[in-house]
């Protein structure tokens, strides 16, 4: 992002990015609390709107995403049943819609493994070499962009994440841990405005999406 402030604390419509994200999940009627993985040295969180909220539990973040998620799942295991459903969401996705969360929950609850929000790829996809020169055009049939939330059973997700990390497999999202263990989660079509803020231009786009959603 080119900023000294972590992207989840950058201003978005007069509020921190993470405030928008937390609000979307914390007040969803189907969700019973929120566990937030943060670096132990993170002091920015204390200045946010939901710091100290009784339904939000802060846990220690890890070196990579998978470690952070696993820490949160371990902490949640002291409260929840291993058969309970959990949703994992990126703090940098502040525009996720309630409709998408509703649809994800509906699909996941009727699936033996779980489900992932995403969007089918419609662009032409190219594979390049190390110099950036095109090697081939990739068949886009069956290809999706994976979003979050991703929804799985607590025990299954915790065990597969732990197993993948122990095997030296650094998974990039929760679904890939389930895939590594041989499972086949369901993809669920979501809105394209559920963007992940990764570069400065994304803040302006997210601001536009939030304003559009509000109206």
Give the total number of structural domains in the chain. Answer: 1
Q: Is the pLDDT of residue 120 over 80?
A: yes
- Domain assignment present for residue 1? The answer is no
What's the mean pLDDT in 33-56?
95
Task: Provide the pLDDT for residue 1.
Answer: 63
Q: Are 140 and 121 in contact (CB under 8 A)?
A: yes
- Domain assignment present for residue 2? The answer is no
Q: Is the pLDDT of residue 2 over 70?
A: no
The model's pLDDT over 8-20, given as tens digits with 9 standing for 90+, comes to 999 999 999 999 9
Task: Provide the pLDDT for residue 215.
Answer: 87
- Domain assignment present for residue 62? The answer is yes
Q: Are 150 and 117 in contact (CB under 8 A)?
A: yes
Task: Provide the pLDDT for residue 126.
Answer: 96
- Domain assignment present for residue 13? The answer is yes
What's the CATH code of the domain at 209?
A: 3.90.550.10
Dist. CA 15–CA 79, nearest whole Å: 31
Instruction: Annotate the chain with three-state secondary structure.
Output: CCCCCCHHHCEECCEEHHHHHHHHHHCCCCCCCEEEEECCCCCHHHHCCCCCCCCEEEEECCCCHHHHHHHHHHHHCCCCCCCCEEEECCCCCCCCCHHHHHHHHHHHHCCCCEEEEEEECCCCEEEECCCCCEEEEECCCCCEEEEEEEEEEHHHHHHHHHHHHHCCCCCCCHHHHHHHCCCCCEEEECCCCCCCCCCHHHHHHHHHHHHHHHC
The model's pLDDT over 148-188, given as tens digits with 9 standing for 90+, comes to 999 999 999 999 999 999 999 989 999 999 999 999 999 99
Domain extent at residue 18: 7-214
Tell me the torsion sign for CA atoms 2, 46, 210, 102. Answer: positive
Task: Provide the pLDDT for residue 6.
Answer: 86
Task: Provide the pLDDT for residue 4.
Answer: 80
């Amino acid at each position: 992002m080119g900023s000294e402030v972590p992207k989840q604390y950058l201003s978005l419509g007069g509020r921190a990015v993470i405030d928008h994200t937390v609000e979307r999940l914390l007040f969803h009627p189907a969700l019973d609390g929120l566990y937030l993985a943060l670096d132990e040295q993170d002091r920015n969180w204390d200045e946010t709107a939901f710091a100290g909220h009784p339904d939000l539990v802060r846990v220690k973040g890890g070196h990579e995403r998978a470690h952070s998620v696993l820490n949160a799942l371990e902490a949640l295991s002291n409260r929840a049943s291993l058969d309970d459903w959990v949703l994992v969401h990126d703090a940098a996705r502040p525009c996720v819609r309630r409709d998408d969360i509703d649809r994800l929950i509906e699909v996941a609850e009727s699936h033996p493994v779980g489900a992932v929000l995403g969007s089918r790829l419609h662009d032409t996809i190219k594979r390049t070499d190390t110099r950036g020169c095109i090697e081939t055009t990739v068949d886009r049939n069956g290809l999706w962009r994976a979003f979050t939330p991703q929804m799985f059973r607590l025990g299954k997700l915790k065990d597969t994440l732990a197993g993948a990390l122990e095997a030296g497999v650094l998974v990039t999202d929760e679904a890939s841990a389930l895939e590594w263990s041989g499972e086949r989660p369901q993809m669920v079509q979501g809105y394209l405005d559920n963007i992940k803020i990764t570069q400065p231009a994304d803040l302006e786009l997210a601001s536009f999406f939030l304003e559009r959603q509000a109206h």
